[in-house]
Structure 1
Amino acid sequence: MLSPLSAAALSLLLLLQTHGAEGAALAAPTVTLDSAVFTGKAGSNTQSFLGIPFAKPPVGDLRLQLPQPVDKYTGSYTVTSFGDACPQQEIELPILTGVAQEVVDYVANSIFGLVFPAAEDCLTLNVIKPSTAKATSKLPVVVWIFGGGFELGSPAMYDGTTIVQRSIDLGEPVIYVSMNYRISAFGFLASKEIREAGVGNLGLQDQRQALRWIQQYIGAFGGDPTKVTIWGESAGAISVSLHMLANNGDNQGLFRGAFMESGSPIPVGPIENGQKYYDAIVQKTGCSGASDTLACLRTVPYDQFKAAQDASPGIFSYQSLVLAFLPREDGTFLTANPQALVQQGKVSNVPFVTGDCDDEGTLFSLSTLNVTSDADFTKYVSSVWIPQANSTQVANLVKLYSSDVTAGSPFDTGILDVLTPQFKRIAAFQGDGVFQAPRRFFQKALNGKQNQWAFLSKRLKALPFLGSAHFTDILNSYGTGELRDAVINFSNNLDPNGHTVPNWPKWSVANPNMMTFLDGLFPTQISQDTYRKDAMEAITQITLQFPI
């Protein structure tokens, strides 16, 4: 019999890596864009058009430049396989022993270890539609933005046919779109030089260009450009939230709803906060002596530039979620720190769904196992997370995140899952700091302004040390779960409720209802978004003052 860990790993692998070869004998579908014919592939009741270029290749002089729209399409294209992923940052996982190593192997095999062909010429997107959809169908469009810490990932990880097929079964057909976007140093290099050149947040700009492409071309596939929902997980969900803030909340008619899994406007500061990582890449690529270091970086051979990127701290380095490459205020796409924009009300007035996994921080705390004492934890918080804070502020935060292992994450597991004396404490702190507290802050700030729903996933608590970890909700949204149906309902009706989804009340400050997904006989319940109130308020206030 498979252990809970092995069973979950197998489920994720099957889910993420299965792209059906169904319907190979069916006639190949075509669609005309401008004067070009695109030939895709047919499934039993879906048609897929994969690897369509939506922007000019960001290579040569276009490296580290804003995405450029493609010229009008001409000729013919065969679009039956995903395009290359954008350059990935090399990931080094921690080396452990025993069951803990099995956890790391699970992470490597089912989440961060998937390898995709990658190249700089990567700005492609994918459209999956019902076979019956015509240019006059005007179907809602759901746009998926993948996660991966802004360091890695690809649309090829996710089988969008499952979403379209389920939408057909529900009688609520949708068009599914996913896109590549530049990540790590290729997409989120940050410095004063980047600000001066106006080329910050290129990964978000790529996503925005894909949304503009959808406005222009999705009608040919049977989609309605006025009925677009943007949906993402982790970095993808953070991206969704930042599109709600871009251009001071003007979404330019690019979407009408947002669905976020494990991601909200995060506490990040000005683009200059990434200067040290920019300077390190400049030094490693030999551009230090150039009068224009940014221009020099555009001439560096790809392998050399990528090697310099890979030498930067990754998501499993000691600093973990204090990522080297993040969206930051650049004065153009984001005119202020994201949470300041939320406070100013500069948010797109669209309905949204947002939620987290219960144990968001466990996965990212495997790299801090050398933090084993109260003093170590205090030093970690003060030196890595809030180096500008005074000792009183640090002491207050440390007190609120207790060393009592029964209060740590995985939550509600008592004395179990104590990988080190401080592991559950760090996991609770990181999960709240990056995911739970920013989500609650976002929802409270928008109370009464637009319809909103919240969820909390407490499934897979049996995963050793990880519990209901970051990414585990993907089984719910791309598997056979309630979130998948909720996304489809929301795309059609701007409401996650439907006949296959248990009653899901809206979230408000007065009634902070959360759809809670559980293991066991009763898979859902409505709970209240009031847990760890004092700790989350404290972490919100201090990160507002000292953003990353």
Structure 2
Amino acid sequence: MLFASSLLRAAPLLAVAALAGASPLAKRADPTVKLDNATVTGSASGSVNKFLGIPFAQPPTGNLRFQLPQPLSAYSTDFSATSFGPACPQQPIKLPIPDSLPQQAKDAINNVTNLLYDVITPAAEDCLTVNVVAPADATPDSKLPVIAWIFGGGFEVGGTSTYDGGVIVDRAIDLDVPAIYVSMNYRVAAFGFLASKEVKDAGVGNLGLQDQRLALQWIQQYIGAFGGDASKVTIWGESAGAISVALHMLTNGGDTQGLFRGAFMNSGSPIPVGDITEGQQYYDYLVDQTGCSGASDTLDCLRGVDYDELMKAVGGTPFIFSYQSLVLAWLPRVDGVFLKDDPQNLVTQGSVANVPFISGDCDDEGTLFSFSTLNVTSDDQWSDYLQTIYLPKAPGADISQLATLYPSDLSDGSPFNTGIANALTPEFKRLAAFQGDAVFQAPRRYFMQAQSGKQPMWSFINKRLKAIPFVGSFHGSDLLNVFFGGDMTDYVVRFAANLDPNGDTGISWPKYTTDAPNMLAFQDGFTPQAIEQDNYRVDAMQYLANVTLQFPI
């Protein structure tokens, strides 16, 4: 995910180098758009217009920290929208550095990493902005479909500036299905997913999801001014963004409120999560570290804590590459407001938006997240890790069965279909297989099989870059097929335009049903695409889905 983001950030530099000898296009006048009583000035870029960093909510600062996002009053003052707004406060990065290095060296590496990341992705609390990229010739009468992008980053990091929406809009123009791209910032880490009894009682859980929902409402109100059709919005995301898309399909009893008509999910589905009070230990840690322990209202006290002091405390909580890995400190949980129940229970109950959707994964989702557990080297340690970290409430018999279904044989592990290669430790590939299935593959299959016959849906599996040592077709690698203008871009824009990904790209992509669980496989080599069946690790994933349904991660 972070590796893929780094490659995506490099794309503009590569493009500049490639075009260095080309004759520059004539500079167009800066585009403008009228929002309420304000004139907003964007920037012209080739065949598209970009309007960046438009506020869509009141700054979530001061008394509005850890509160539901508040809509803006009508725009009344002219402003320039030519640069991205800051990302929301980020969880400090902690890389999975081998224990053999001295702590001083580890700290130095992480400090440099965070300094560089802060330069690339500057962050601030006042961060709730949207970006709109539209064809240069779009007018309020164009009524173009809208692609609303929700970024990933484990609900802990990420922002909109990484992703060049111009690539998407340019490709849509080339395919003669012009579309508008919108991306949104939302609160992440503790700022967006604070969890505790206090948070539940105050009704302010899942703030990052609430930010996204308000951004979708902003699209409904304003996208027409840019040439978009508010009735033709597709929500699309990757990783945490894809999970967010799935949760928007489940909230409100499955009622979309007219906010979207289609959904596209790259590596993310309704995941098994517990009650918001399961995050109490992390809330209590912040309260203790910021001196709020003696306050009569600890949540209100946290709102008044100095930003730098609060960020220091947040930095003391586990990061996605910490030992507990994908058992995240900060993520969506059942809050009784946005999520009334465990997402997988909501699927079972039929609380799912009746819209066409696409959901797929990378073949080796778990590899990136298994570098922090290289000290797990034996069968007993593998079982202990599952019992302690992933499934502390599950009986030992379930752990034993999972140990059987995910064997230690290297040829069964991830990166899949690589034989005995890529084994950093005797348990690395085994743990990568389990983590990829537990958080990505099994929830996707559970979701799609539950919805079979109820709505049009398609699935995919990305198997490209399989030869990369240790990580294979790693989590996030499918985005290289999109934001670099690959073939997946075509499917995204066609789906947004027609609610069907098919066209004149590649091979025909059949729908997914339980009787014919078709998957479009993106492959390396001379056959870039093929149709495969979603019939791998059936017993393992079915058992795993049942266990996590009883004992959410």
TM range (shorter): over 0.9
Q: Which residue of 2 aligns with 1:94?
A: 96
The separation in 2 between residues aligned to 1:414 and 1:492, in whole angstroms, is: 42
Q: Which residue of 1 aligns with 2:194?
A: 189
Q: 1:115 offset after TM fit, Å?
A: 3.2
* Aligned pair partner of 1:335 in 331, 340, 355: 340
Say whether residues 1:228 and 2:233 are aligned partners.
Answer: yes
The separation in 2 between residues aligned to 1:24 and 1:199, in whole angstroms, is: 50
Say whether residues 1:66 and 2:62 are aligned partners.
Answer: no
* Aligned pair partner of 1:15 in 11, 34, 54: 11
Give the letter aligned to residue 15 of structure 1. Answer: A
Q: Per the alignment, in what secondary structure is the counterpart of residue 339 of structure 1?
A: helix
Q: 1:501 offset after TM fit, Å?
A: 3.8
Q: 1:19 offset after TM fit, Å?
A: 8.3
* Aligned pair partner of 2:384 in 359, 374, 379: 379
Say whether residues 1:251 and 2:256 are aligned partners.
Answer: yes
Q: 1:9 offset after TM fit, Å?
A: 9.7
Residues 168, 485 of structure 2: 8 Å contact kept: no
The separation in 2 between residues aligned to 1:344 and 1:204, in whole angstroms, is: 21
Give the letter aligned to residue 116 of structure 1. Answer: T
Give the letter aligned to residue 69 of structure 1. Answer: P
The separation in 2 between residues aligned to 1:113 and 1:455, in whole angstroms, is: 34
* Aligned pair partner of 1:143 in 133, 140, 148: 148
Give the letter aligned to residue 448 of structure 1. Answer: G
What is the CA deviation profile of residues 471-492 of structure 1, one whole-angstrom value per residue up to 9, with x for unaligned ones? 0000111123221000000000
Residues 206, 335 of structure 2: 8 Å contact kept: yes
Give the letter aligned to residue 72 of structure 1. Answer: A
Q: 1:254 offset after TM fit, Å?
A: 0.1
- Give 1:345-356 correspondences, 5 Å limit: 345-356=350-361
Q: Which residue of 2 aligns with 1:495?
A: 500
Q: 1:17 offset after TM fit, Å?
A: 6.3
Give the letter aligned to residue 222 of structure 1. Answer: G
The separation in 1 between residues aligned to 2:155 and 2:413, in whole angstroms, is: 27
Range with bigger deviation, 277-286 or 49-58: 277-286
CA pair 54-488 structure 1, distance change in 2 beyond 3 A:
same
Q: Which residue of 2 aligns with 1:211?
A: 216
Q: Which residue of 2 aligns with 1:4?
A: none
* Aligned pair partner of 2:512 in 507, 517, 521: 507
The separation in 2 between residues aligned to 1:10 and 1:295, in whole angstroms, is: 37
CA pair 19-334 structure 1, distance change in 2 beyond 3 A:
farther
Q: Per the alignment, in what secondary structure is the counterpart of residue 121 of structure 1?
A: coil
The separation in 1 between residues aligned to 2:548 and 2:25, in whole angstroms, is: 52
- Give 1:124-523 correspondences, 5 Å limit: 124-523=129-528
Please, what TM-score do these two structures have when normalized by structure 2? Answer: 0.94
Q: 1:24 offset after TM fit, Å?
A: 8.3
Q: Per the alignment, in what secondary structure is the counterpart of residue 77 of structure 2?
A: strand
Unaligned stretches of 5+ residues in structure 1: 1-6, 99-103
What is the CA deviation profile of residues 76-104 of structure 1, one whole-angstrom value per residue up to 9, with x for unaligned ones? 11000000000000111122599xxxxx9
The separation in 2 between residues aligned to 1:227 and 1:371, in whole angstroms, is: 48
Residues 4, 479 of structure 2: 8 Å contact kept: no
Residues 24, 43 of structure 1: 8 Å contact kept: no
CA pair 367-132 structure 1, distance change in 2 beyond 3 A:
same
Q: Per the alignment, in what secondary structure is the counterpart of residue 84 of structure 1?
A: coil
Give the letter aligned to residue 92 of structure 1. Answer: K
Say whether residues 1:32 and 2:37 are aligned partners.
Answer: no
Say whether residues 1:46 and 2:48 are aligned partners.
Answer: yes
The separation in 2 between residues aligned to 1:475 and 1:398, in whole angstroms, is: 34
Q: 1:374 offset after TM fit, Å?
A: 0.5
CA pair 473-545 structure 1, distance change in 2 beyond 3 A:
same
The separation in 1 between residues aligned to 2:427 and 2:69, in whole angstroms, is: 44
The separation in 1 between residues aligned to 2:381 and 2:230, in whole angstroms, is: 52
Give the letter aligned to residue 369 of structure 1. Answer: L
Q: Per the alignment, in what secondary structure is the counterpart of residue 74 of structure 1?
A: coil
Q: 1:44 offset after TM fit, Å?
A: 1.4
Residues 267, 544 of structure 1: 8 Å contact kept: yes
What is the CA deviation profile of residues 479-515 of structure 1, one whole-angstrom value per residue up to 9, with x for unaligned ones? 2322100000000000010112420000000000000
What is the CA deviation profile of residues 46-78 of structure 1, one whole-angstrom value per residue up to 9, with x for unaligned ones? 000000000000000000000000110012110
Unaligned stretches of 5+ residues in structure 2: 101-108
The separation in 2 between residues aligned to 1:17 and 1:440, in whole angstroms, is: 38
Number of matched pairs: 534
Q: Which residue of 2 aligns with 1:78?
A: 80
The separation in 2 between residues aligned to 1:482 and 1:273, in whole angstroms, is: 41
Residues 61, 126 of structure 2: 8 Å contact kept: yes
Give the letter aligned to residue 281 of structure 2. Answer: K
The separation in 1 between residues aligned to 2:345 and 2:444, in whole angstroms, is: 14
Give the letter aligned to residue 452 of structure 1. Answer: M
The separation in 1 between residues aligned to 2:15 and 2:249, in whole angstroms, is: 31
Residues 485, 501 of structure 1: 8 Å contact kept: no
Q: 1:348 offset after TM fit, Å?
A: 0.3
Alignment root-mean-square deviation, CA: 2.1
Q: 1:8 offset after TM fit, Å?
A: 9.0
Give the letter aligned to residue 288 of structure 2. Answer: Q
Q: Per the alignment, in what secondary structure is the counterpart of residue 490 of structure 2?
A: helix
The separation in 2 between residues aligned to 1:63 and 1:84, in whole angstroms, is: 16
The separation in 2 between residues aligned to 1:151 and 1:56, in whole angstroms, is: 21
Give the letter aligned to residue 134 of structure 1. Answer: T
CA pair 312-449 structure 1, distance change in 2 beyond 3 A:
same
Give the letter aligned to residue 481 of structure 2. Answer: N
Q: Per the alignment, in what secondary structure is the counterpart of residue 217 of structure 1?
A: helix
The percent identity for this pair of structures is 60
CA pair 24-199 structure 1, distance change in 2 beyond 3 A:
farther
Q: 1:260 offset after TM fit, Å?
A: 0.2
The separation in 2 between residues aligned to 1:282 and 1:481, in whole angstroms, is: 46
The separation in 2 between residues aligned to 1:411 and 1:492, in whole angstroms, is: 35
The separation in 1 between residues aligned to 2:234 and 2:416, in whole angstroms, is: 32
Q: Which residue of 2 aligns with 1:3?
A: none
Residues 123, 181 of structure 1: 8 Å contact kept: yes
The separation in 1 between residues aligned to 2:82 and 2:406, in whole angstroms, is: 50
The separation in 1 between residues aligned to 2:117 and 2:396, in whole angstroms, is: 36
Give the letter aligned to residue 530 of structure 1. Answer: N
Say whether residues 1:528 and 2:528 are aligned partners.
Answer: no
CA pair 465-447 structure 1, distance change in 2 beyond 3 A:
same
CA pair 251-112 structure 1, distance change in 2 beyond 3 A:
farther
Q: Per the alignment, in what secondary structure is the counterpart of residue 290 of structure 1?
A: coil
The separation in 2 between residues aligned to 1:252 and 1:504, in whole angstroms, is: 29
